[in-house]
Amino acid sequence: MEDKRPSKNIVPPLFCWTKMGVESGQSLNSIISRKEMERSVGNGLFCWGIGNSLGEAPKLALSGNKGKSISVLFTKMKSPPKKIDVEPGELALWLYYRDESGRYFDLPEHSLISSRALTPQGTPKLTHFALMCKSDDPLREDSVPLLIDAKRIRNYVSSNSVGYSQVTSIVSYDHDANHSELSKSTYEVSFKADLYGTGFLRLVEPITLTPELLKLYEAVCNSTKKSEWKKGIRLLKNAARKKTSTSTSQYDLLGEFQPA
């Protein structure tokens, strides 16, 4: 069977680019460790929370990529973290996503997505987003020897340059000989994954972490064994669901995925 995955050592012509840094009061190292545990428990599947919508770009990219997988390249943010990311105040837990028809679904049971509970304006944060990713390789910093030249990148749908403030985008990459050398606007790729399923999820119905839920949440984040994660995430989500009346469809858009 033909391997449709792009080479690990070449920047693909089409990919999802996301910049990562301090989030919800957690250091980047802590976030990566938590996501690696999630990936390990989930047979390679993990959810990566993002703050901005990707619109129709993931669907168009998947349709136009001729059956090939779309890589997600993770790079570190160059700008210092915002105060609200370092000191977010209350946190929110996300358990559900909504499809295009408006139906609600449960996120994979082993996944853990959180964010700050309030917007920069101090109002409740009602929307969040996530990349659905899969990787057979552990998530480790600097595990992929790749450099991204931001000058060669364009938004996939609009062909416009990627704005400095754009944290996550579906992009095309120009390997044209006109750029014989890398510019000064380069980013080192820390690690990579592939988009899984629809690739992009719109999250709904956040649950603010009460002191009780926060204690359970921190226990999951501090898990060092798969068994601890599985037990902790089950306790956290069961307790969180008691605080919401949200009902979800039984049909799973993500497929027949079952974590180990």
Q: Residues 23, 136: contact at Cβ < 8 Å?
A: no
The bridge status of strand 147-149 relative to strand 128-134 is unpaired
pLDDT digits (tens, 9 = 90+) for 108-132: 999 999 999 999 999 999 999 999 9
Distance in angstroms (rounded) separating the CA atoms of residues 218 and 106: 21
Do the beta carbons of residue 163 and residue 9 sit within 8 Å? no
43 has a pLDDT exceeding 50: yes
Per-residue pLDDT tens digits for 180-238: 566 668 899 999 999 999 999 999 999 999 999 999 999 999 999 999 999 999 999 99
- Rg from Cα positions in the chain: 18
Q: Which residues pair with 149 in a beta bridge?
A: 186
Q: Specify the pLDDT at position 38.
A: 98
Task: For residues 53 and 129, give the distance between their C-alpha atoms in angstroms, rounded to a whole number.
Answer: 6
* Ranges of H-type helices in the chain: 28-41, 57-64, 83-86, 211-221, 226-241
Residue 143's pLDDT is what? 73
For residue 253, pLDDT over 80 is answered with no
Three-state DSSP state, 38: helix
Question: What sign does the CA torsion over 242, 247, 250, 256 have?
Answer: negative
